[in-house]
Structure 1
């Protein structure tokens, strides 16, 4: 399966404890960093995306395979 690609500003959703969560892609992470105190082991070969949650306003990092494009 081809890797999913997302752009800054894309509206996406992902599975969450309470159902589906929604947010906006802030940027693509391609190196090890921290998001909200958690280590994100991203690399150019295994990128993750920083997402701003629509409900909480908090940032989270997610792998592309768990994200789904949503209509804006």
Structure 2
């Protein structure tokens, strides 16, 4: 199970381009399709949509991939 975050939290995660940061905009607790892939999730192990600070890119990650940043 990953860490619990809430909408508006500022977080970072590791990407192909290095460490990226952004703000959580949505929390998924049911399976959902994103960019052509089904992401499996539950209330006990949600996935988060995060908007990048530097671009308009939206990423989806489990809580275990995220690190909360100070505001």
Query: What TM-score do the two structures reach when normalised by structure 2?
Result: 0.84
Q: Which residue of 2 aligns with 1:29?
A: 28
Q: Which residue of 2 aligns with 1:56?
A: 55
- Total equivalences in the alignment: 71
1:1-72 matches, within 5 Å, as 3-72=2-71
Alignment partners' CA distance in 2, 1:3 and 1:34: 20
Give, in angstroms, the shift of residue 3 of structure 1.
4.1
Unaligned stretches of 5+ residues in structure 1: none
* Cα pair distance change 1:19/1:28, threshold 3 Å: same
Q: Find runs of 4+ consecutive structure 1 residues off by over 4 angstroms.
A: none
SS of 1:34's partner is strand
Give, in angstroms, the shift of residue 4 of structure 1.
1.4
Superposition CA RMSD, Å: 1.6
Unaligned stretches of 5+ residues in structure 2: none
* Cα pair distance change 1:63/1:42, threshold 3 Å: same
Contact preservation (8 Å) 2:2, 2:62: no
Query: What TM-score do the two structures reach when normalised by structure 1?
Result: 0.83
